[in-house]
Amino acid sequence: MKKIQVAIIEDNPSDLQIMVSSLENTGQFQVLRKFMNGSDFLLAMSEELIPIDLVIMDYRMPVLNGLETFRNLHHRNVRFKILLVSHGYYSHVMKEVMSMGTQNYCQKSVPFILKNLHRIMAGRTLYEDIEVLRNWEGQSKELALQIKDELYWRDLLSPLDKKIIQHICNGLNSTQIGKLLGYETSSIEKYRGLILQSLELNNSQQLSSWAFANGLVNSSFLFQFAESAEVQLFKHERIGKVKPYQKLKKKKRK
């Protein structure tokens, strides 16, 4: 039996590895090509004939995202099937895909994808229950907020936000973070509040747990930071403040 030839467009290495192994372990699919973004895939198509039956691509990618790539392939009337995936549900993406006469967009769930690829290959609708599509807006909001995967918060947080979160995880207060980044303490306090609000968290403890869970910090990062010159300076400042008190206590004991 001839295996279904697949191309995968995905910029997340771990997601790519999981998708490739899951497809090939079924014995029904062979991942022929892998690309990091839609632009690379379209360029390869213009230079050579890629004998694929199916392309599975992520929505959020640099250079050319999955929706723009989907639209481009639709206009070309390609013969292979297309499946667009993302960790969260995004209603505007589904509306755009449906405007092109297809439902081929789903959550990046390997079990769901494997279960329904036969429907896509047969040219059938992806969702039998249209109620799923009617409630897409609600699912989009719920899952996007619930999952908060790396691809989601990558766009949600600025580079400054990420630095502040990392410093918070290292136990620095707003004054210390301000000294490191060159901001007033009041500005850092404002940023901290906005970060918590964006991620729907209540305090710094929850923020630290979230940062570890989503890979923004790890034990190696914390160790390296703990040995940095900045932290040694903060430790020295704390020691300097304690010494007079310690001397005073010793004098009283005498």
Residue of 137, 113, 213 lying closest to 169 (CA atoms): 213
Consecutive 10-residue runs of the chain (254 residues): their mean pLDDT?
Answer: 92 84 94 91 90 94 89 93 88 89 90 92 85 68 54 66 87 88 86 84 83 74 64 55 42 47
Q: Which fold has domain 157-253?
A: Arc Repressor Mutant, subunit A (1.10.10)
What pLDDT is attached to residue 247?
A: 41
Distances (CA, A) of 144 to 31, 33, 139, 141, 156: 29, 29, 8, 5, 11
Structure tokens at 168: 């918070």
pLDDT digits (tens, 9 = 90+) for 117-168: 999 999 998 887 767 677 776 666 665 555 544 555 556 677 888 889 888 9
What pLDDT is attached to residue 121?
A: 94
What pLDDT is attached to residue 163?
A: 86
What pLDDT is attached to residue 155?
A: 60
Structure tokens at 8: 């995968």
What pLDDT is attached to residue 113?
A: 93
CA 152 – CA 119 distance, rounded (Å): 28
Q: What is 4-147's CATH number, 1.10.3720.10, 3.30.450.40, 3.40.50.2300, 1.10.357.10? A: 3.40.50.2300
Name the residue ranges covered by the structural domains of the chain.
Answer: 4-147, 157-253
Q: Identical fold at 4-147 and 157-253?
A: no
